[in-house]
Amino acid sequence: MTPLNMVALLLPANDREAMLGDLEEQKQPKWLRLFAVLGFVSRQQVEYWRDWRPWLVGGAVIPATLHLLGASFRLSMDFRDLLHGGSFGMAPLYQAVLMTAWAGTGGFVIGALSPRTGWISPLLFTFPCFSCLMEFPGPVLSSLCLLLFVPPGIVGAIFGRRWMHMGLAPSLALMCATFGLMLLWHGMPRGNWPLLLPALYLAWDALRPDEGEQGRHL
């Protein structure tokens, strides 16, 4: 695969097809074609980043990841205690469901709000993850226990990118269930309340009148 084709992979399929065809028709030298595609990719990114949504997503990823790392760690510790003869309570169950809901809704919102600038989210997500994994006390738990929220987050992001919006009924049900469980779990750290925001956003997004697709696919 040539460098030109590799760079062109950064473009949506139709743009890639049309642009490479136009460059072929213009019979420009290979290096000029490469610069043309690079220029378009950069311009597209500048256009996408002129919107507020990628900035919101980018700004929220690090704090959300830190909270989810904490939730993942607490959940692992609670299940470890349970396995070592601790008394059974509802808290680990609440935690497991809530962590899945937080990560899933967060991922969905990231996928829906920034499908074309989504590359920044995994990049930002790795900083807190790596720093926590470096500091993690190994012998008590496997370091993978910190990352329990990653699979539901990825699944949420994939569906968010594909569907863009959630229906009214599922989003309201998800929001109410998450909110209810957060109220029920008495030991929940207060700092986790912002993790309800993605579920609230999805419900608000489903309730508001459709503003058209153009501005919402960044």
Contact footprint for other proteins (CB under 8 A): 14-15, 17-26, 36-44, 47, 214-215
- Minimum gap (Å) between residue 154 Cβ and other proteins: 29
Closer of 42 and 142 to other proteins (Cβ): 42
Closer of 22 and 81 to other proteins (Cβ): 22
- Minimum gap (Å) between residue 28 Cβ and other proteins: 9
How far is the C-alpha of 20 from the C-alpha of 25, rounded, in Å?
9
- Minimum gap (Å) between residue 33 Cβ and other proteins: 9
Listed residue (212, 161, 198) closest to 56, CA to CA: 198
Contact at 8 Å (CB) between 191 and 67? yes
How far is the C-alpha of 106 from the C-alpha of 100, rounded, in Å?
10
Amino acid at 95: Q
How far is the C-alpha of 65 from the C-alpha of 130, rounded, in Å?
11
Which value, to the nearest 10 degrees, does the dihedral of the CA atoms of residues 67, 197, 119, 147 take? 30
Listed residue (71, 41, 57) closest to 109, CA to CA: 57
Closer of 20 and 155 to other proteins (Cβ): 20
- Minimum gap (Å) between residue 69 Cβ and other proteins: 38
Closer of 12 and 189 to other proteins (Cβ): 12
Closer of 14 and 87 to other proteins (Cβ): 14
Contact at 8 Å (CB) between 115 and 218? yes
- Minimum gap (Å) between residue 68 Cβ and other proteins: 34
How far is the C-alpha of 140 from the C-alpha of 50, rounded, in Å?
46
Closer of 25 and 135 to other proteins (Cβ): 25
Helix axes 91-113, 168-184, angle to 10 degrees: 140
- Minimum gap (Å) between residue 109 Cβ and other proteins: 22
Rg (Cα) of the chain, in Å, rounded? 21
